[in-house]
Amino acid sequence: MEVSKCLVRPLHGQPYNGSGCIVYAVRTLILGGGLTGIALASLLHERGHDILVLEGGARTGGLCRSRSENGFTFDTGGSHIIFSRDEEVLGFMQRALGENRETRTRNTKILHKGILVKYPFENGLAQLPREDCFFCLNEYIKAYIRKEKGEAGTPENFREWIYATFGRGIAELYMVPYNEKIWNFPTERMSAHWVEGRIPMPPVEDVIRSAIGIETEGYTHQSIFSYPAEGGIEALVHALERGLEGKIITDFPVRTLRYRNGAWEAGDGRRTVSGDRVVSTIPLQELAGCLGGVPPEVAAAVKNLRYNSVACVQVGLRGTVPPLSWVYIPDRDLSPANRISFPSNYSSHVAPEGFSSILAEVTFNDGDPVSRMADGDLADLVVESLERMGFLSADSVVYRAVDRQRYAYVVYDLEYLENIRIARTYFQELGITLVGRFSQFEYLNMDGCIRNAMECAENWR
Ligand SMILES: Cc1cc2nc3c(=O)[nH]c(=O)nc-3n(C[C@H](O)[C@H](O)[C@H](O)COP(=O)(O)OP(=O)(O)OC[C@H]3O[C@@H](n4cnc5c(N)ncnc54)[C@H](O)[C@@H]3O)c2cc1C
């Protein structure tokens, strides 16, 4: 029901040029129009609920946005592929994309001492220099025996978990340097509660097989993946938006959220929108900033929830790239990027004919050197490193762009479980439902976000 002057900007429509207060009475306000917000809106709308999505950016998509320029399409929140062991969610994503989808077999490597080792590392041991292979296998078996005999103890942190699970060889040659690079944080200050299902853990037989050169495959639910043929990963979000015309307001960064006279009021400083229930998919830190009177212990817990940011360096080049999906680069001295991917190998429509593309991800935190570096300097550094590693020749580069995402990865530090408990209890007591990667503050991939949106929609009364 419309309460007074109702001006809802059409989806991706003209800029709002009016002033004053827009009041729109809807049953459910969804804060944030990333994949979670849009998937949830679509599911609730389908069930007949009245919803309105408030997205702070000029476009929906959040981390799942893509940039198409000069014939190249890049995912601006880092390389995204569609995969899941959750068949229902996988089917949901695939159906949304329909024909606009290409399927690929993963060809992923880890760059170790100049060798492209098969991913997961434990499935590529035979490719290591012989001494490194022996070191990894011998230490893996020692760790395995300690576990089997019940002598391993309970790991107190992520670093201890890595050593206990993989042994010193795999830990020191790959797991610790890679993880410290991507999280931009010491592994001994990280918790180990989250690793189940997130880190490939092969059976012992596969590790032995792979060390003696018998082909094995790990993390198999990801070994075949799909990707939008056109439009990059953002195409998935737009596919889910079908039917939601008029239900999404972009350029509405929620700055205030108040519960007054039995209704929630969300404001961006110019306009106010009201609804009787709120689902937040925006980062907890942003949500807390919108609410007045957050108790100091809750504000501190939210502030101390750790995350990192990512700079996505996009490079278009003349000619071809190796037939790889993506490559992990644990060595900090080789490149600032923790991972490079090859989008032109995901779809035949994301680079012009005769050209190809590389997307490098560099994680960082406020105050560190990457955060202070100009985008152009970071792109120079990445292109130099790509040339040094043999992935391109600098004179073949025809396109460069950099996008930064403030909220990229949740970092599970040792205080995480206590901080998240305090934060969730508070928001739950206020009656705000939290769904999504930085709202639940969990390491959720797209499938996890959609699964949680589905559960939220199913239980919505
Ligand atoms: C480098 C990288 C690679 C990844 N690769 C994959 C992959 O290959 N496969 C996969 O399944 N997943 C991948 N993911 C994970 C995936 O990106 C996320 O799970 C998913 O995009 C999270 O969606 P979300 O809507 O929960 O959050 P977000 O995408 O963060 O969306 C939140 C939205 O809220 C908006 N917002 C924030 N503050 C406000 C405010 N105050 N008012 C209004 N709006 C606001 C933001 O603009 C944004 O649109 C990757 C993530 C990263 C960082």
CATH number at residue 57: 3.50.50.60
Take atom 6 of ligand 1 and give the residue whose Cα is closest.
80
Share of the chain above pLDDT 70, in %: 94
pTM of the model: 0.94
Please give the distance, rounded to the nearest whole angstrom, from the Cα atom of residue 112 to the centre of ligand 1.
Answer: 30
264-273: b (≥16 Cβ within 10 Å) or e: bbbbbeebbb
**Domain extent for 436:** 25-63+234-304+414-458
* 332 and 228 in a common domain: yes
**Does residue 14 lie in a domain region?**
no
> Do 124 and 177 fall into the same domain?
yes
Task: Identify the band that residue 9 occupies on the pLDDT scale cut at 50, 70 and 90.
Answer: very low
Mutate to test the pocket of ligand 1, among 30, 35, 38, 63 (most ligand atoms within 8 A of CB): 63
If one compares 20 and 306, the residue with the highest pLDDT of the two is 306
Q: What is the pLDDT of residues 325-350, one digit of tens each?
A: 999 999 999 999 999 999 999 999 99
Distance 411 CA to ligand 1 centre (A): 15
Q: Per-residue confidence at 202, pLDDT binned at 50, 70, 90?
A: confident
Q: For the domain that residue 331 is a member of, what is the CATH number? A: 3.90.660.20
Same domain, 279 and 181: no
Mutate to test the pocket of ligand 1, among 198, 342, 446 (most ligand atoms within 8 A of CB): 446
434 alpha carbon to ligand 1 midpoint, in Å?
A: 14
Q: Are strands 66-69 and 109-112 parallel, antiparallel or unpaired?
A: unpaired
Evaluate if residue 159 carries a pLDDT over 80: yes
Mind spelling out the 3-state secondary structure of 188-236?
A: HHECCCCCCCCCCCCCHHHHHHHHCCCCCCCCHHHCEEEECCCCCCHHH
The pLDDT of residue 221 is 86
Domain contains 11: no
| Beta-bridge partner residues of 72 | 69
Q: What's the 305 CA to ligand 1 centre distance in angstroms?
A: 17
Atom number, ligand 1, closest to the C-alpha of residue 57 = 47
Closest-lying ligand 1 atom to the alpha carbon of residue 444: 19
What's the pLDDT tens digit per position in 10-50? Answer: 333 333 334 445 555 568 999 999 999 999 999 999 999 99
Cα separation, 279 vs 282, whole angstroms: 9
Pocket test for ligand 1, best of 9, 445, 456 (most atoms within 8 A of CB): 445
Q: Which residues line ligand 1 (CB under 6 A)?
A: 31-37, 54-57, 62-64, 77-78, 80-81, 253-254, 281-282, 286, 310, 361, 407-409, 436-438, 444-447, 449
Q: Is residue 78 part of a domain?
A: yes
Q: Give me the pLDDT at residue 196, please.
A: 78
| Cα 64 to ligand 1 centroid, rounded to whole Å | 6
pLDDT at 25: 54
Report the domain count for the chain.
3
Domain termination site, one of 392, 410, 428: 410
C-alpha of residue 35 to centroid of ligand 1, in Å: 7
Selection from 343, 347, 346 nearest residue 399 by Cα: 343
* 142 part of a folded domain: yes
Q: 314: which residues sit within 8 A by CB, 6+ positions away?
A: 67, 72, 74, 76, 357, 358, 359, 399, 400, 401, 402, 403
State whether 36 and 164 are in the same domain: no
**Residue 361 — φ and ψ, nearest 5°?**
-110, 130
Check whether residue 278 and residue 322 sit in a common domain. Answer: no
| Distance of CA 233 from the midpoint of ligand 1 (Å) | 11
pLDDT band for 138, please (50, 70, 90 cuts).
very high
Q: How do residues 342-392 score in pLDDT, each as one tens digit?
A: 999 999 999 999 999 999 999 999 999 999 999 999 999 999 999 999 999
Which ligand 1 atom sits nearest the alpha carbon of residue 289? 41
pLDDT by residue (tens digit) across 57-110? 999 999 999 999 999 999 999 999 999 999 999 999 999 999 999 999 999 999
Residue written as token pair 């010491």: 186
Q: What is the pLDDT of residue 19?
A: 44
Computed over every residue of the chain, the mean pLDDT equals: 93
Residues 93 and 37 reside in one and the same domain: no
Task: Please compute the mean of the pLDDT values over residues 272-291 and round it to a whole number.
Answer: 97
Residue 45 lies in a domain: yes
The reply to whether 144 and 281 lie within a common domain is no
Whether the pLDDT of residue 1 is over 60: the answer is: no
Going by alpha carbons, the residue nearest to atom 35 of ligand 1 is: 32
Residues 168-190: tens digit of each pLDDT: 999 999 999 999 999 999 999 99
Q: Same domain for 45 and 151?
A: no
Residue 25 Cα, ligand 1 centroid: separation in angstroms? Answer: 27
Does one domain contain both 440 and 291?
Answer: yes
Does 31 fall in a domain?
yes
Q: What is the number of the ligand 1 atom nearest to the C-alpha of 446?
A: 11
Cα 215 to ligand 1 centre (Å)? 35
Looking at the fold, whether 181 and 278 belong to one and the same domain comes out as no
| Pairing state between β 25-31 and 272-280 | parallel
The reply to whether 40 and 127 lie within a common domain is no
Q: 360: which residues sit within 8 A by CB, 6+ positions away?
A: 312, 313, 315, 335, 337, 339, 340, 382, 386
Q: Are residues 69 and 57 in the same domain?
A: no
Read off the tokens for 198: 């997130």
Q: Is residue 12 part of a domain?
A: no
Is 433 part of any domain? yes
User: Three-state SS across the chain?
Assistant: CCCCCCCCCCCCCCCCCCCCCCCCEEEEEEECCEHHHHHHHHHHHHCCCCEEEECCCCCCEHHHCEEEECCEEEECCCCCCECCCCHHHHHHHHHHHCCCCEEEECCCEEEECCEEEECCHHHCHHHCCHHHHHHHHHHHHHHHHHHHCCCCCCCCCHHHHHHHHHHHHHHHHHHHHHHHHHHCCCHHHECCCCCCCCCCCCCHHHHHHHHCCCCCCCCHHHCEEEECCCCCCHHHHHHHHCCCCCCEECCCCCCEEEEECCEEEEECCCCEEEEEEEEECCCHHHHHHHCCCCCHHHHHHHHHCCEEEEEEEEEEEECCCCCCCEEECCCCCCCCCCEEECHHHCCCCCCCCCEEEEEEEEEECCCCHHHHCCHHHHHHHHHHHHHHCCCCCHHHEEEEEEEEEEEEEECCECCHHHHHHHHHHHHHHHCEEECCCCCCCCCCCHHHHHHHHHHHHHCCC
pLDDT of residue 276: 92
Q: How far is the CA of 272 from the centre of ligand 1 (A)?
A: 25
Rounded distance from Cα 26 to ligand 1 centre (Å): 25
d(CA 406, CA 209): 41
Q: Are 86 and 197 in contact (CB under 8 A)?
A: no
Name the residue with the closest Cα to ligand 1, atom 23.
Answer: 35
Q: Kindly report, residue by residue over 402-414, the tens digit of the pLDDT.
A: 999 999 999 999 9
At residue 197, the pLDDT reads: 76
Q: Integer distance in angstroms from the first to the last C-alpha of the chain?
A: 18
